[in-house]
Structure formats: structure tokens, C-alpha cells
Amino acid sequence: MDEQLFFKKLNNLCTSEEIFDFLSSLEVMSDTMASGALQRISELEVDDSGVKNPGVLENEVFRALCLQFEFESSKLSSSGLLNALQALVTLQIDPQSTLMASLLSESEERLGKGQLTVENLCALGESLLELESPNCAMLEEIVNHMQEKDIEKWTPREIVMVYKILQVTARERKEYQNLLNRLNSVTLPAVSQLSPNFASVILNSLVVLCQTQTVALVTALCKHSAEHVPYFTDCELVNVLDAFLYFGHREQSFTEALETHVPKSILTMHPQTVCKVMQYCCKKVILSKPIFDAVAESFISNADRLTSDQIAGYIIPFGTLNYLPPSASSLFRKLETVLHTRLSHFQPHTLLNLLHSCVLIQRYPLNFLPKIFSPYFLQKLQAQPPGLNRVVTSQLTQLFLTVTLECPFYEGPKLHPKYQVKAFPTPHSSCDVHLLKRVKTGLLYLLKKRIYFASQVSTPYFYAVDIEIKLDEEGFVLPVAQCEEVHKRIALCVDGQNRFCANSHNLLGEEAIKQRHLQLLGYEVVQIPFFEIESLENCRKMAEYLHKKIFPHTYGLRN
């Protein structure tokens, strides 16, 4: 039969049985036709969970085809050989079988003799990568042969295959960097032609191969990915999100595409993909209400099917970004139910992170604090990395301070003083030095002398105050060094952009709890957010603004 007619008929067949009947009706066929039949069977019989009907592999026609490939491998065309190998790898035929050994041996021999075209090399590389323990020597030889070809003429498929091979063979080896530089250069103009799968694979390879210098390529791939968000598989989307996180790239169009895609698809998304989306939002401090609201609804419906790490991945970003969704009451009721049932399933540090995130948004896990403050649990924290480092002891201290200030009715165990820190670290929300300097200059203009305010003041309550002002009973400002007759302490919180969610006026959780606690500790908290003062043109305008904020009931400034 003519090959063109053969493939036309083959591609119209929808079951393996139809293919076997069709093949049985033929007296003779080329190796290209036979390998094409194997490929069509692999397309029909293999899905994400593996081979759907293993009985197909025992079919007489299938076995006859395999025998022919095994004993006549040296007579096959390179295309027939490598297409058959690809199909059999997809069908998960045992790599140690005599059939696979014969095909791999023949492929290796032709590779060594330089008899394979770029397309052949590509097919062989893809087959080897699918094997559990790929032959790295063969993969390296493929790359060496590929380097001899004209890289400018490579198709997107060939580019992607080389990236995938380098991922396996070149992680710690610098001799391939020149090839990578050429590959990165030739990929850049081809980005717009890449399918969602190819874009995802290349981004993943750039992460694994630590290609941090390829800024232009990463930027182009990230922009291109924004167009493909609805078409990525879960695995591909995770790779793309990992790349955004690794390279620190921010792309508004990508976030907007996620905001459209996630609420529509969350019921079918794998929980690990949802966790990665939330991690992306959390690390980029992106408070996306459409995403967070959809994740909250998904958690309420599916929490019982989530692992302990996935539960933490869903919930912790709500605390970090200081957001309560419309379904908050149902969300935290469900979380409490799950914790009651599966508390012992959580690793100590995961549980601490989870409960700490809850108190940031005023959801108090009182039923679980006796466990957290118990010596046994603290020993478990100490025994597992990162141990009781400063971040962990700060979380414990903040939990203790929260129940002391916000839940005075709590009568359970308290945190032993040896686990309490003296001051909270503020890695994410340290004071904006430039903004603080402007505010201090305005205060000096307002109060006339530097003795009337202090900056970066440590308090006995673990928090540092950006600027502190003391007043006596009549409302007069006292020198900051004076400790007697202090009737009121004012804490100025100079909140730069780093204390808010991205492009938002929503305070981050760690800053919100700090201001809440300072208030409960007796301070009058005055917030000085960046968006209120960035347009103030001079020192006098800043002083007038500060006067209205700090002393709203007294007369204005004198000229």
C-alpha cells in the first residue's frame, strides 16, 4: 500500500483493535509504516496514568511487529528505528527487555558513526529522556553531534530537546555554557512560535541550569506565558510559576491572566498547583482577591482531601497578606475541624507557620496553643531544621503575645521565657529609610527641637517603634528622655511600600499585627503611609500634614 494512503487510513482508526485488523489485512509494509502503527497505538493506549489496557501488549499482531523490530533492527531506516523506539518507550516496554536492548544498541551504533540527522537525534534524545535511568553518555554524544549542526536552523522542537538534555547532563558542568549561550540567543527570536508546553519546558530548563544572566530571554518567555495561562497543564503552570519566583520576574499581564484562569479552573486544578499559585502570590505580595476568594471556596469543599502541607499552602498566604475572604467564617471553621481530626499529621514547623498566620488576621487557634507551648512540641521544633532559630522563636513569642493581649480569657499553658525573643526581626517590613528621613525632617520643623521625638525605639514588648513622641497629661510634648509624668505615648508607623501588598493600600499581616498590638499596649498608633506623603513637595507641607495626623485637635502651625 502507498505510504500516504496508509497513514491517512491509520490516523482515522480510533482503537487498537481496529489498527490490528488493518495491519492483518496488509501483505507487506515498510518499517516507516510499522513504526507509525506503533506510534498510533501508543497515542491511543497511553494517558497521564499510564497504559490504559496492558492486554494490548499481548496481542499477536503487536508481538509480531515487536519481533520484527527486534531481529531486524540493523536493516531498519533511522526514522523507522527511532520512531519505533519512541513508541515502545511511551508504551512502557521494559528497558531491560531484549527488544529494547536491540533497538537502543542499534541507535547507539548509528549515533557513534554520525549517521543520524537532526530530526533523528531529536527523536533519540526524547526517547532516552523518557527512560528512568537515561544513558548520559549517549545524551552527551547527542549534544556533541547537535553542536556540529547549524543551530540557526533548529526547529522549536529541536531547541527544546537540547535544553532538556542539558538539564540532565550539564547541571554542574561549565563546558556547555557556550552552547547554552548560543541556544539562549537563537531561542529569543523564536519565543513567539513556542507552544505552551515548549515555553514551560524552556523556562524550567533555565531554572535548573541557573541561567540568571539570560534576562531578555526570561522576560520574553514570561510575557509569552501570559498569553498561554489557560492552556498550560498543571505541571506546565507549576514550572512557569517556579520560573517567575526563581528569576524574580513580575509581569502584570501574567497575574491578570491567573486572576481570570484560577477561579474558572480551580475545581479541576491539582492541589499542588493551587499551592504554587498561592506561593507565587505570597512571595510577590500580590493580593489577588479573585484568586484568594476562589482558593477559600475550594478549601471549604476539598480540605479533607488535602495533605497537611497543602492545607498550609492554601491558608498561610491569607495571614501573610492580611486578607479575610467573604467566606472567612466557613473557611476557618473548616480549618479548625481539619486540625482537630489531623493535628498529629502536621510537621511541627508547618503547624507553627499555619497557626501563626491565623493570628495575623485575628483568627485565634486557642484549642491548639497548649500543644504549641508544650515542652514536648518545643523539643520537636528544636530537633527539626531549621530548629529554634530567631524566626521560629519570634513566631512563638508573637503567638504568646497575641493570646496575652487579644485573648485575656486564655488560661492554658504559656510560653516559657527562655523561648521568648527580646525583639522581633522585621526582614520584610523594615522601615523605609528615605521615607523616615523625610518624616523626621517634617517633625523637626513642627516640634522645633530634636529632643521631642526618637526614632527606631525598642519597647519592652518585643516591637520597635519607628518614631515615638511622649505627651504629658495636658497634651504637651515631653523630651523623649523624660520618663516621669508621661501620660501618653504616640507611635508613628512610617509605612513604606514594602509594608503593603503590591499595588495596594492593604497592610501586610506582620505590620497589621504590630500596629494592633502597640495599640493594645497603650500606644496611640498614628499611621504615616507612603501614599499620603509621597506627593508632599516641601518640609512645611510635611509638617502641616504631620500636625493634622498627630495633633488633629490643636491649632495649626505659626508662620
Which string of DSSP letters, residue by residue, matches 59-96? -HHHHHHHHHHHHTGGGS-HHHHHHHHHHHHHTT--TT
Q: Do residues 394 and 425 touch, judged by C-beta distance below 8 A?
A: yes
Digit-coded pLDDT (tens) for 28-38 = 889 999 999 99
Give Cβ neighbours of residue 217 (< 8 Å, ≥ 6 apart).
184, 187, 188, 191, 206, 211
Is the C-alpha dihedral spanning 406, 409, 415, 417 positive or negative? positive
- C-alpha distances out from residue 42 to 33, 46, 49, 313, 490, Å: 14, 6, 13, 37, 72
Instruction: Please enumerate in sequence order all residues whose Cβ is within 8 A of that of 253, keeping only pairs 6 or more positions apart, or say none.
Output: 223, 226
- Tens of pLDDT, residues 96-109: 999 999 999 999 99
In this predicted structure, which of 46-60, 328-342, 437-451 has the lowest mean pLDDT? 46-60
Highest mean pLDDT pick, 18-22, 55-59, 270-274: 270-274
- Amino acid 79 reads S
Q: Where are the domains of the chain?
A: 1-149, 433-550
DSSP state, 174? G
Amino acid letter, residue 390: R
Beta bridge partners of 526: 492
Average pLDDT of the residues in 331-355: 96
3-state secondary structure 194-253: CCHHHHHHHHHHHHHCCCCCCHHHHHHHHHHHHHHHHHCCHHHHHHHHHHHHHHCCCCHH
- Of 101-115, 144-158, 257-271, 300-314, least confident by mean pLDDT is 144-158
Antiparallel, parallel or unpaired: β 477-478 and 454-458: unpaired
- Number of Cβ within 10 Å of residue 384's Cβ equals 11
Average pLDDT value for residue range 28-53: 90
Block residue for cell numbers 494512503:
5
Which pLDDT band holds residue 558 (cuts at 50, 70, 90)? very low
Q: Whole-angstrom Cα distance, residue 353 to residue 396?
A: 10
Mean pLDDT of 519-543: 94
Give the span between the Cα atoms of 443 and 440, in whole angstroms. 5
Give the phi and the psi of residue 500 in degrees, each rounded to 5.
-120, 160
pLDDT tens sequence across 204-231: 999 999 999 999 999 999 999 999 999 9
Over the stretch 348-357, which tens digit does the pLDDT of each residue have?
999 999 999 9
Q: Tell me the Ramachandran region of residue 258: left when phi exceeds 0, alpha when psi lies from -120 to 50, beta otherwise.
A: alpha
Chain segment 396-412, per-residue pLDDT in tens: 999 999 999 999 899 99
Q: Give 140's pLDDT tier (boundaries 50, 70, 90).
A: confident
**pLDDT reading at 148 higher than 90:** no
Q: How far apart are CA 31 and CA 65, in angstroms?
A: 10
Mean pLDDT of all residues belonging to the chain: 92
List residues bridging with 488 in a β-sheet: 471
Would you say 445 and 539 are in contact if contact means Cβ atoms under 8 Å apart? yes
Q: Indicate the pairing of strand 477-478 with strand 46-47.
A: unpaired
**Mean pLDDT of the region 65-87:** 92
Three-point CA angle 121, 124, 125, nearest 5°: 85
Go through 139-155 and write b for each residue having 16 or more CB atoms within 10 A of its CB, e for each that does not: bbbbbebbeeeebeebe
**Mean pLDDT of the region 240-246:** 97
Model confidence at 173: pLDDT above 70 = no
- pLDDT (0 to 100) of residue 172: 53
Helix (H, G, I), strand (E, B) or coil at 504: coil
Is the dihedral angle over the CA atoms 32, 35, 41, 47 positive or is it negative? negative
Tell me the C-alpha distance between 195 and 225, whole Å.
Answer: 9
Q: How many CB atoms lie within 10 A of CB 480?
A: 19
Q: Which residues contact 344 (CB under 8 A, 6 or more apart)?
A: none
